[in-house]
Amino acid sequence: MEQTSARLISLKGNRIRSLSRVEEKMDADKKFEKINWEMLQKFMDKNPEMATFLGFHDPYDKLLGDASLKAVYENLELLEEWRRKIEENIDYDSLSDNNKIDWKVLDRAHNLWKFGFYERRMHERDPEGLEGIGSLIFIMLLREYAPLEKRVEGIVSRLEKLPLSLEQFRTRFEKSLQVKLWTEIAIEKCQRIPPFFQFLVGATKGRISDQLHQRLQKAVANLNQSLKEQLEWLNSLLPNAKTEWAMGKEKFEKLLELRQLGMTAGEIYQLGVKYLKELKEERARLAQEIAPGKSVEEVLKQIQENAPKTFEEVLDLTRNEVERAKQFLTDNEIATVDERDVLHVVETPAFIAPLIPFAALWIPGQFEKVQEGIYTVTRPKDAKDLSKDANYASIPSTAVHEGYPGHFLQTARSNRSGSFVRHMGAGTETIEGWAHYCEEMMREHGFLTSKESRLMQVNEMIWRAVRIIVDVKLSQGEMGFDEAVDMLIKETGMSKNGAVAEVRRYTQSPGQPLSYLLGKHLILQLRDEVKEKMGAKYDERFFHDTMTENGYLPIALLRDVFDMRLAEM
Ligand SMILES: [Zn+2]
């Protein structure tokens, strides 16, 4: 504010005119931000679960939103109202550059939601209705935003409301559009959730008041009947379920276009093929250097044998590597770290493990005072797969991807600095591309040095190249489920259980699996551009800090942010 007035005074003759123009600009920005906050409030009132995830707890933590089809539609209507209000009240050209980007984000989010609602129709095709509440309770239990007693009060209130919510949810499927494969996945998750609720009862005993604990026990006992009904209902859906789940060529192409990736499905596929070829050559070369005369499979096996013997050791080692990576960033001036942030490393809860074969990050809530993330590692179904999935050469890379400077750092920094609208940018290629980019970037800086870890890294890059190929082919309906599983096993040496869990997830998230390597590719391109524009002034930390403080803007919009920042310099 002060800077603005100082500049106005120096304009002398033009003072009055400039003042009104600046005021007009400020006015537009203020109005724009006010509408955004009002609409966020409306969304949270309708979707209290979202409020909890974002970090607003009172009164939301005790509520569950309507789960019926009508409510899904009303959410889309809210987004339409948001867009309309902005278009009617704000002149785009009067906005600051920052808010112009947020406007574009809202526009893009609206188009993607419309596509989701009218064309993808997951809300009528995937009958999985428990993962959301499971995840919600999991974060309410682990994020320490309030005393445990208060958090469990919210959990209990929500569990008491769950039977009604499941009834509402089931009404979405009256048109029998459910997909068979997804119904089977939903059945597995439904069977796995009761032990999670039981765990909740055990984990809180003696840590909360007796009165509340009794209420929790009663709520969990009452849920048994309702979960039994849900399971029977899911089984009853199977005979009429659709065997086809692929999105199809036309819709997939449309999705890529709405995501503004700047490439067609065919071009992305070719990129995957090119990377796969080059990376396999590099893998073969490295294997020869490590153990001359041995095959790639033999060398990989040899590296994998050098691994922790128990799952608990894997968790401990992961914790150490997260800390080491965090310190490394500061010591080497790679990215800015905030010491107040907290990252827990725990086992993946069983109810969600069918979709997370290896590891995942549960991001911190945007408005939470302390940025607290939960890094979950999945215990393999079969103990003999342990070393295959988590060995000394691969654990550090995973810690970089999920923790520092990957998903956790990116989210924690963005939550602190960006507007909440930026997160609606949901550029999957920025989220996964960034985490994948970090794996190799950290190696360039010396975080990992052995040839063995490089070989594992190249192998994981091959996995991401296969994801591009499989994602495009599966989504377009040109590849079957088993074919995709076979390709993952053949090209990456992944365990069968791991590959099946992977492909299950791919079927439900077209366009997500291709985002890792494509995103990294686009980030490297952007880095080259920024380097060229900055010349001798280029600074790696500036690049990384700017990348991580802008929510999940798609790369196309991040380019605008860099141009803006460079112009200010
Ligand atoms: Zn990731």
Q: At a CB cut-off of 8 Å and minimum separation 6, what does 48 contact?
A: 59, 60, 61, 63, 64, 65
Q: How far is the CA of 435 from the centre of ligand 1 (A)?
A: 6
The pLDDT value recorded for residue 353 is: 72
What is the whole-number distance in angstroms between the Cα of residue 468 and the centre of ligand 1?
14
How far is ligand 1, taken at its centre, from the CA of residue 394, in Å?
Answer: 15
pLDDT at 23: 60
Q: Which residues of 147-161 are buried (b: 16+ CB within 10 A; e: fewer)?
A: ebeebbbbbbbbbbb
Tell me the CA–centroid distance for residue 519 and ligand 1, in Å.
11
How many angstroms is it from 433 CA to the middle of ligand 1?
8
**Distance from the CA of 402 to the center of ligand 1, in angstroms?**
6
Q: Which residues of 259-296 are buried (b: 16+ CB within 10 A; e: fewer)?
A: bebebebeebbebbeebbeebbeebeebbeebeeeeeb
Query: What does the pLDDT read at residue 5?
Result: 29
What residues are paired with 375 via a beta bridge?
345, 361
Q: C-alpha distances in angstroms, 201 versus 136, 207, 218, 350, 512?
A: 16, 11, 10, 16, 35
Nearest alpha-carbon partner for 318 in 387, 371, 397: 397
> Ligand 1 mean position to 369 CA, how many Å?
24
Successive 10-residue mean pLDDT values, the chain, 569 residues: 30 42 75 95 96 94 96 95 95 94 94 95 95 91 92 97 97 95 95 90 93 98 96 97 96 97 97 98 97 95 92 96 97 96 90 73 91 92 80 93 96 89 88 96 95 94 97 97 97 89 94 97 97 95 95 91 91
* pLDDT on residue 569: 84
For tokens 């209990």, the residue is 156
Task: Compute, in angstroms, the gap from residue 232 CA to the centroid of ligand 1.
Answer: 34
Quick one: pLDDT at residue 25? Answer: 63
CA of 163 to the centre of ligand 1 (A): 33
CA gap 403, 374 in Å, rounded: 9
Dist. CA 351–CA 193, nearest whole Å: 5
Please give the distance, rounded to the nearest whole angstrom, from the Cα atom of residue 350 to the centre of ligand 1: 19
Helix axes 515-534, 540-548, angle to 10 degrees: 130
Nearest C-alpha neighbor of 143 from the set 375, 445, 472, 458? 375
For residue 24, what pLDDT is reported? 63
Q: How far is the CA of 360 from the centre of ligand 1 (A)?
A: 7
Query: 61-77 burial string, b = 16+ CB within 10 Å, else e?
Result: bbbbbbbbbebbeebee
Give 431 Cα–ligand 1 centroid separation in angstroms.
7
> How many whole angstroms from 312 Cα to the centroid of ligand 1?
22
Neighbours of ion ligand 1 (CB under 5 A): 432, 435
Q: Tell me the CA–centroid distance for residue 406 and ligand 1, in Å.
A: 8
